[in-house]
Homo-oligomer: A and B are copies of this chain.
């Protein structure tokens, strides 16, 4: 795998740095987020166990986060892009694309045969990036209906 030189696969040693970025991201978009220490513990445990895969940009500029799940449609796993974040003052330099390209390469190298994600309708920069990388929001083909993401707190 040849990643953009600004990004690399994270290890559990990167848990504190990823937690700080995640906290910064959630503080930007949401009000309710656990303190960085809790996030760091979860990242360390899950990175060590292989429960999460993180692509990290140098200089704490951003990250992409993947989860894998088994499928019944195929013997291959499916990959889910759970997070994509670039710090606000460094957007527009192609870091998001570099992170996503590395995420796609990593998913494929780990055997996944499909990769998916959810995003907001008004996040046109992210949507343009995903679409330029071959992601589609259309079910069954280019003329298919748009696919929606729903959630509910329990």
**Residues of A at under 8 Å CB distance from B?**
19, 22, 26, 29-30, 33-34, 39, 42-43, 46, 51-52, 65, 67, 69-75, 79-80, 104, 107-108, 112-123, 127, 130-131, 133-137, 139-140, 144-154
Name the one of B113, B119, B131 contacting A154, with C-beta atoms under 8 angstroms: B113
Rounded to whole angstroms, the CA-CA distance of A72 and B26 in the bound complex is 12
* Residue of B with least CB distance to A133: B152
Q: Which residues of B contact A71 (CB under 8 A)?
A: 42
Q: Which residues of B contact A154 (CB under 8 A)?
A: 79, 104, 107-108, 112-115
Known: A73-B33, A144-B120. A151 touches B46 (CB 8 A): no
Nearest Cβ on chain B to A91's Cβ, whole angstroms: 19
